[in-house]
Amino acid sequence: MTTLSLLACNEISKIEWPNQASEISLHSKATDIATDFKINRPLVIDSNTKAVEAEYLMKKAHVKLKLVLDKADNFIGTLSFNDLNDQEIIKKAAIGVDRSELIVTDFMRMKATLKSIDWSALEHISIKTLVHFLKDRTEQHILITDEKGNTLRGLISASDIARRLQLDVNLNLPINFKLISQAITKGIED
C-alpha cells in the first residue's frame, strides 16, 4: 500500500503545461483547431432551463456556446451567450412575457437552422482552406458531424482560431468566421 505525505511547496517555481501542439498555423490540419467531443466533453444545457439562469451560468463559466438537449438528452439546437444577452431578455419581457418564465428554448437556435461540416472532410484540409470556405459566414461556431451525419462530433470556434493563430482581433467582442478571414487577409497584406 502506498503511503501519502504532504510536501512543502516552497521549492516549486514552475507549472506543468499540457503537451499539446501549440504551434498552429494556417497550414495545420483543420482538425487541429477543432474541439473533438471524443476527447473533450461537450458543454450542454437542458432546454427547460430558465433563461436568466442559463445567462448567469454561461457568464460565470465564460462559456460562449452550449448545446441544447431535450428531456431525452437528444440534441435540439444551440444557445450562444449572444443569443441570450440581457437585451434579448428585455425585448421578450417588453412584449409581456414574464422574465422569470423565459427558458432556453425561447432563445436557442433550432438545429434545423444550423449548418455543420463532416469530420472526415476536415481531416483532409488546412485551417486556411477552412477559413476561406467560411469567409462569408457570420457564425461564431460551426458544428462538426461524424461521417454518417447523425451525431455531433465536435465544433470549431472562430475565437479559438483567432486565439491560436494570434490574430489581431479584439477577443472581448464576438468573433465570427468572416472577421477571422478579414484579419488573416489584412495580416497577409501588412
Q: How confident is the model at residue 171 (pLDDT cuts 50, 70, 90)?
A: confident
Q: Which residue reads 516552497 in cell numbers?
A: 10
Q: What is the CATH number of the domain that holds 115?
A: 3.10.580.10
The DSSP code for 143 is E
Q: What is the pLDDT of residues 32-62, one digit of tens each?
A: 999 999 999 999 999 999 998 999 999 999 8
pTM: 0.82
The Cα–Cα gap between 149 and 93 comes to 38
How much of the chain exceeds pLDDT 90, in percent?
Answer: 65
The Cα–Cα gap between 124 and 120 comes to 7
Phi, psi (rounded to 5 degrees) for 113: -95, -5
Residue 98 belongs to a domain: yes
Residue 73 belongs to a domain: yes
Per-residue confidence (pLDDT) for residue 174, from 0 to 100: 85
Structural domains in the chain (count): 1
Q: How confident is the model at residue 21 (pLDDT cuts 50, 70, 90)?
A: low
Q: How confident is the model at residue 155 (pLDDT cuts 50, 70, 90)?
A: very high
